[in-house]
A = this chain, B = another copy of it.
Amino acid sequence: MADRRHTGLRQIGEFDFINRICGPSRDGGYHRPERVAVPVGDDAAAFTTEPDRLTLLTTDMLVEGVHFLRPAISGRDLGYKALAVNLSDIAAMGGSPREAVISIAVPEDCPLAYLEELYAGMRALAAEHEVNILGGDTTLSRRDLVINVTLTGAVATHELLRRDGARPGDLIAVTGPLGESRAGLHLIQKDLPVDTPAHQYLLEVHRRPRPHLAEGRFLAASGAVHAAMDVSDGLSSDLDHIMTQSGVGARIDAHRLPISAPLREFCRNNAIDPVGHALAGGEDYVLLCTLDPGKAAALLKNYSDTFGAPLRLIGEITAVSGEARLVDAAGTTAPLPAAGWDHFRNR
């Protein structure tokens, strides 16, 4: 990798670019050098894996004008987010992150300072989670900045969290509040004033989604989780994946959805229905999981003791395959609105 014809970056040269992001961290080396057999600079990276574990592999591409607007996001936040979305995928499998490779296509008008911030944001998050960045590919782009991160992870076979294991009677839970990131995006897109602590908080959540790796590991080790995924497209949309892949239905209790005080304030200020907003969501990066009902009580207590915050129960898996219902506090039932981000044909 990293040395194809026609690839280039006039300002700094390809090898500098790759070495900047991969090379020794501030504390002098890879975060976990014991796994690295061949670092950046050869045809491929080489690393050791654990013999008794599965290797996880995920990749995500962020494209300027589609996933982000360069003038509206700092390099640091973009670098952070490009890695964070992949970390969230590893979290959703119950895994621990391991090695990353980064591809980046850079337009001529992208200043070096922006790229340096991008590295810094990515490297800081990699350091936090002991991810080795082992190489990548750098190329020019005619117009749009494109970043692709591929991340490996490791998980014991019996701890793997899949989407297809939900069973009727399972309790549905999430590891954090819903709809906050979407509210932060709304503030940016509508150019609304960020002049209250609530709005500042929502913007920060959108800019710096926290991958729930510790929560994912906890859930994986508990033995009480039948299915899990991360909420990236919005709860309604992502729950549909679990339902489809597990062949089950679901009931969501509207009044139990974790809607934070800042989000309620935002919804009041902008005349938005908080429940619909939380269900549609997008980029929440909390984990959605279904719990063995016989093991749920102990899990909930241990979870609260561990994280100082509750695992939020929001509904129940049902036997009616493909049917998702929303129940309000008065007991009225309606179809769960399908309002996620993956409705490609209808955009």
A196 to chain B, nearest CB (A): 25
Q: With A and B bound together, what is the CA distance between A153 and B38 in angstroms?
A: 13
Q: Which of the four size classes fits the interface of chain A?
A: 35 or more
Quick one: given A66-B7, A142-B143, A144-B141, are A56 and B60 in contact (CB under 8 Å)? no
Q: Which of A115-162 contact B (CB under 8 A)?
A: 134-137, 139-144, 146, 148, 150, 152-153, 155, 157, 160, 162
Answer whether A63 and B155 are a contact pair too, CB < 8 Å, given A57-B99, A89-B43, A344-B8. Answer: no
Q: Is A65 close to B, CB under 8 A? A: yes
Verify if A347 is at the interface (C-beta below 8 Å from B). yes
* Bound CA span A44–B103, Å: 18
Q: Pick the contact of A38: B90, B162, B282 (CB < 8 A).
A: B162
Q: Which of B101, B105, B245, B345 contacts A63 (CB 8 A)?
A: B105
Q: How far is the CA of A55 from the CA of B38 in the complex (A)?
A: 10
Which residues does chain B contribute within 8 Å of A67, judged by CB atoms? 4-7, 139
Task: Give the distance to chain B from A201, nearest Cβ to Cβ, in Å.
Answer: 20
Q: Which of A24-32, A230-238, A259-267 contacts B (4 or more CB under 8 A)?
A: A230-238
A63 B139 Cβ-Cβ under 8 A? yes
Q: Output the least CB separation between A151 and chain B (Å).
A: 8
A57 lies within 8 A of B134 (CB): yes
Q: How far is the CB of A22 from chain B (nearest CB, A)?
A: 12
Partner of A54 from B48, B148, B342 at Cβ < 8 Å: B48
- Whether A93 sits at the interface, judged by CB under 8 Å, is yes
Partner of A61, one of B46, B93, B148, B162: B148
The closest CB in chain B to the CB of A102 belongs to: B59
Nearest chain B residue, comparing its CB with the CB of A61: B103
- Is A272 part of the binding interface, using a Cβ–Cβ cutoff of 8 Å? no
The docked-state distance in angstroms from the alpha carbon of A102 to that of B101 is 13
How far in angstroms is the closest Cβ of chain B from A153? 7
Tell me the nearest residue of chain B to A287, going by C-beta.
Answer: B43
Asked if A13 is at the interface (CB within 8 A of a chain B CB), the reply is yes
- Which of B10, B58, B344 is A45 in contact with, Cβ under 8 Å? B58
B3 touches A103 (CB 8 A): no
**Chain B neighbourhood of A136, CB < 8 A:** 59
Measured CB to CB, the residues of A under 8 A from B are 1, 3-10, 12-15, 37-38, 41-49, 51, 54-61, 63-67, 85-86, 88-90, 92-93, 95, 99, 101-105, 134-137, 139-144, 146, 148, 150, 152-153, 155, 157, 160, 162-164, 229-230, 232-234, 237-238, 241, 245, 282-283, 340-345, 347
Given contacts A59-B135, A64-B142, 15 further A-B contacts (CB under 8 A): A1-B58, A1-B60, A4-B232, A8-B343, A38-B160, A42-B162, A43-B93, A55-B55, A57-B134, A57-B135, A65-B141, A101-B150, A103-B148, A143-B144, A148-B150
